Structure 1
């Protein structure tokens, strides 16, 4: 293996270890992700002459740059064609996420999610658990698993006084949110990546993964229905009343909630009708919500410094997460550009052979390793000419990467959010929630393989 490829693998591995050890090193995972991306591409372009043969370049590219010498030609191919081509694909994912995150922040700023959460009241542990889990399952399909987890944990804080009871509910919210996000093109970052990349389509993924994802939730829920029967929760002595956000009227809150949710649901329809990239539909939905909020803001004479204004909403966007996706996806694209992922795919096919077993293992690995780079790597390993759009392999990958991360608290964005909000320890989750999540993951996987 050429020295350049060894260096790239080494840089990517060290960067990945730094991401996994984020809490130990006290360094945000975004920094090593961006650093490894830049270094991988730097090594690639510096040693590109040893990795790329001129005769392998497309004829149109050679004709277009016929005036360049061999070294300049290779550098132009890597820096101006390969890198920018990957950046275009990655950019469509990032703009989609930015639009979705802004819409969610808008709705939250106006207190819109209270329309859903304030209607849930129960004292039976099993009844409340079913209500919370089912709501999280469907909410994450319309929003995303991370947002759903944050909203639902905020809800159970108002409904459950005991922290131990709350921890258990938070763990099941993670399982439900991840299961719900797997069958929707906007429910999980990895499913969104496959959707934008052309590996899956909206109707096909909903049709194929709804039942497996539902079974992934039902298996642990049915077990808990039996094991927790007769138990009751302990609500807070004084149920806090949630005031409308700042000075927002109920009418304005309902308008923003309706426009925001319909805007998110409109994105798949926009892509189907226009065939434009999904981020264009998301930007259209954001612009409509923006205009509506400005009209409300000025007609109601809200203060320009209020948290409801677009400038304040944009400041609350989780920019480090967006930059993390940029870094990790660029780093993975370097592995794809150099042919390392294609070689890995060949090795896996030769050693394991069964693509379903490989994808199932990827799902389990996503509990340890972030599922975003795993899916990005898999997308680079297997070509659409071999596994076309809506092939069972891509659908099973969406299920596995979306739900497998529930097996550990660090395996998904939803799990990490719950870990931070309720201070759930790694080993507590491993003991109480991981076996339930694994049961559901295996149940849904077996069902998918049996049916499809």
Structure 2
């Protein structure tokens, strides 16, 4: 039964990657894969030898000895747990996307456009790369990607050009999220699990993360795609920001940046803070929308358009523009991975590694073997969601807090996902927002991500020998 579930996952995964060839929206195989995998888990629960308790990050003791009803109850609890964790991400994502759309409703991103004086593709590449790197460390790589691609859509009009920038934003955002305890979900897991501390994360990972972003960006700046200047829309070029554009931009971005501070103070999940931020931004949006259309416009089509806007809530308008297919795709793929995680396959693999590689944890060969395992974990995070892989590593290693190994895992899992577009939350969101083809990313961007990942790993190993 386990083999059949893995086969269903692989087939679904292939259908997602072959979206353009099959002419089938990736949302369909993702949802089908999720539903069928969990159905097979429920039907064949008596045939499984192990079960992974996600809430405790450990295998359930004597799972085969449990009664059928107890196993079904465990399946329901596990499904509810994963749905809750996935819903946290999706609600957070909905809040962030709505705030971004509200900013756009007031043409807030035109304020940033006015600061971007250059039309050089190379300079814009570096600007967005640096922004993605630092912004992801503050507001996490997922939200940073949403914000920056939204801004990018206002600056770079041609989609053929824009997807190149989006690919490098994914690399930069994942690199920036690795050295911050709130920048990436896997780093957050290790931080909450008291495996790493914030000061040592910065000391160990800042330089490797910088090089993981800088090297691919530097190489990309010499590619034909980033030569010359961007094409601009003359009409948009001459348009001026509205009365409340700058206010809503700063309010919206400030509200998103507020979320990590809210989490630190209250210890509540980030989506709670995001909902509070959305409520505040929405309140000001409603207030400003009344004055935005209070002045009578010229007669004709413009008057009708203003009349239509005057009776339309900016919040309702923004919610109607949210990419719901992307949200449901995210739901499907995360819950499908959760089904595999629940079978305890990853932990079984970890135990096998412990038995077959007795050198792990012994010097000097043990360090080398551990490094190879962690790098493989990074490569694996591009194929399978990095959360269960990091959860597996928590059971694989028993090193103390701030051991370099934990920091290497944080870097590897955080940046390795950039090698495939569906290997990270930032990539999945970018794929949805820009409709990026899996194989286009594999051909054009994956090799750059691999170089950045490899350079970062080597840098970390060198730094570890010095610190």
TM-score of Structure 1 vs Structure 2, range by shorter chain: 0.7 to 0.9
The correspondence for 1:119, drawn from 97, 107, 115, is 115
Deviating more after overlay: 300-309 vs 313-322:
300-309
Structure 2's unaligned 5+ residue stretches are 54-65, 295-306, 361-368
Partner residue, 2:290: 298
Partner residue, 2:376: 361
CA contact (8 A) 2:196 2:402 kept: yes
CA-based RMSD of the aligned residues comes to: 4.2
Count the aligned residue pairs: 420
Partner residue, 2:276: 284
CA contact (8 A) 1:194 1:200 kept: yes
Alpha-carbon offset, residue 275 of structure 1 = 0.9
Query: SS state of the match for residue 382, structure 1?
Result: helix
CA contact (8 A) 1:145 1:188 kept: no
Partner residue, 1:179: 175
User: In 1, Cα distance between the equivalents of 2:17 and 2:239?
Assistant: 39
Partner residue, 2:206: 210
Give CA deviations for 1:417-442 in whole Å, capped at 9, x if unaligned: 489859899569736x5554433222
User: In 2, Cα distance between the equivalents of 1:444 and 1:127?
Assistant: 23
Distance 1:326 1:387, change over 3 A: farther
Alpha-carbon offset, residue 269 of structure 1 = 0.9
CA contact (8 A) 1:336 1:377 kept: yes
Alpha-carbon offset, residue 86 of structure 1 = 2.4
Partner residue, 1:30: 27
Alpha-carbon offset, residue 411 of structure 1 = 5.8
The correspondence for 2:228, drawn from 207, 226, 233, is 233
Distance 1:194 1:308, change over 3 A: farther
Alpha-carbon offset, residue 261 of structure 1 = 1.0
Distance 1:109 1:164, change over 3 A: closer
CA contact (8 A) 2:381 2:389 kept: no
Partner residue, 2:335: 330
Deviating more after overlay: 386-395 vs 214-223:
386-395
Distance 1:87 1:6, change over 3 A: same
2:448 counterpart of 1:451: no
User: In 2, Cα distance between the equivalents of 1:87 and 1:167?
Assistant: 31
Give CA deviations for 1:108-134 in whole Å, capped at 9, x if unaligned: 222222222321223766555433432
Distance 1:441 1:241, change over 3 A: same
Partner residue, 1:17: 14
Deviating more after overlay: 330-339 vs 96-105:
330-339
Query: SS state of the match for residue 24, structure 2?
Result: coil
Structure 1's unaligned 5+ residue stretches are 57-68
User: In 1, Cα distance between the equivalents of 2:375 and 2:11?
Assistant: 25
CA contact (8 A) 1:15 1:33 kept: yes
User: In 2, Cα distance between the equivalents of 1:137 and 1:411?
Assistant: 18
**Counterparts in 2 of 1:252-401, with a 5 A limit?**
252-301=244-293, 305=309, 309-350=314-355, 354-365=369-380, 369=383, 373-383=384-394, 386=398, 395-401=407-413
CA contact (8 A) 1:93 1:196 kept: no
Q: Taking structure 1 as the reference length, what is the TM-score of the superposition? A: 0.75
User: In 1, Cα distance between the equivalents of 2:26 and 2:102?
Assistant: 27
Query: SS state of the match for residue 115, structure 2?
Result: coil
Give CA deviations for 1:73-112 in whole Å, capped at 9, x if unaligned: 3322322x22222222222222222211211222222222
Give CA deviations for 1:23-47 in whole Å, capped at 9, x if unaligned: 2222222222222222222222223
Alpha-carbon offset, residue 337 of structure 1 = 2.4
User: In 2, Cα distance between the equivalents of 1:300 and 1:419?
Assistant: 31
User: In 1, Cα distance between the equivalents of 2:431 and 2:337?
Assistant: 27
Partner residue, 1:99: 95
CA contact (8 A) 2:205 2:407 kept: yes
Partner residue, 1:133: 129
Give CA deviations for 1:167-192 in whole Å, capped at 9, x if unaligned: 86665445434433444566667667
Query: SS state of the match for residue 385, structure 2?
Result: helix
Alpha-carbon offset, residue 12 of structure 1 = 2.1
Distance 1:444 1:45, change over 3 A: same
